[in-house]
Copies of this chain bind each other. A is one copy, B any other.
Amino acid sequence: MEELVEDPGIEEAAEVIERYVARPYTVQVNGLCSVNYQGRAKSSLDRGERLVVIKQDSALLVHGPENYQPKNWQPEVDSWNVESDEELLLTAKRNDPDETVELRFEDVETVLVTQMVDRSELKLRGHEIDIHESIEEDPELVEEGLKVIERERKTPAGYIDVFARDPEDRYVVIEVKRNPDYNTVLQLQRYVDEIEDEFASEVRGILVAPKMTDNVLDYLDDHGLEFVEVEMEDVIASYESLDDSQTELESFSEV
């Protein structure tokens, strides 16, 4: 911990904040403040008790007592300004897009300054791309006898996730989505149209997703397209076994 002040006056709080803001410190300010934002949109937030966090990369968060998301924020601040008399005015300006967040503190309860060291990266499984790879690894996840021709095939309408052929030698366009919606259906339709044009033959379109809603499924049916459900757990499992084998290879090569 770099610094911790309890119940400072406005002056002292301003000093501490000014000292650490715009430097690679994490500053947590608990206090009573109001917020004005102007930029891509415009907002105002009346006085209330909030937790303000200024991160080491200058990200700014203004959290109320509830919700995952901050009430106001700025992903990256280019210039800071601290002013004080009766109140503490903290201004955070971003250049592109041109945006400003103004915090006006009437009272500051605590200011806590730390310098976090965190070199670990999040390892996440279950991305859409993990599904692609699982399918390429094991096309039977989608359908028996399916043969993958190409992944990320480029067409004038965009990239096809997986391009394949079924046992009856029909072309199959596969669109993978974690969270499919109506638009996904049209996207798939467009790829199918493209491929039908290109190969002048009937083409199947399959939407592969870990979940589906009735309405989107209906819409898919209307378009003569198909749906195959994949279990996210299967995907993660297949991905992990793949990952393990790679790790083994790596450690082997290190010997």
Partner-B contacts on A (CB < 8 A): 1, 4, 6-7, 24, 26, 28, 30, 34, 40-51, 53, 55-57, 59, 61, 63-68, 71-75, 109-110, 112, 114-127, 157-158, 178, 182-183, 186-187, 189-190, 219, 232, 236
Contacts and interface: CB of A to CB of B under 8 A. Distances in A.
A70 to B, nearest CB: 8
A189 B187 CA distance: 11
A208 B137 CA distance: 43
In the A-B complex, list the 8 residue pairs whose CB atoms are closest, starting with the nearest. Answer: A41-B126, A48-B118, A46-B120, A65-B116, A49-B116, A57-B66, A68-B75, A56-B65
Contacts of A127: 41
Contacts of A110: 1, 4, 112
- Identical chains in the assembly: 2
A232 B40 contact: yes
A231 B225 CA distance: 38
A120 B34 CA distance: 9
Contacts of A121: 45-46
B59 A66 contact: yes
Given A109-B114, A117-B49, A187-B186, A55 B41 contact: no
B109 A41 contact: no
Nearest to A118: B48
B67 A55 contact: yes
A30 B119 CA distance: 16
Contacts of A43: 122-125
Nearest to A236: B42
Given A49-B114, A63-B55, A110-B4, A122 B71 contact: yes
B116 A64 contact: yes
A59 B69 CA distance: 9
Contacts of A187: 182-183, 186
Contacts of A125: 41-43
Given A43-B125, A116-B51, A190-B183, A109 B67 contact: no
27 contacts: A1-B6, A1-B110, A4-B6, A24-B65, A41-B127, A42-B126, A42-B236, A43-B125, A45-B123, A47-B120, A48-B117, A48-B120, A49-B114, A50-B118, A51-B116, A53-B63, A57-B67, A59-B66, A59-B68, A61-B68, A64-B116, A68-B75, A182-B187, A182-B190, A183-B190, A186-B187, A186-B190
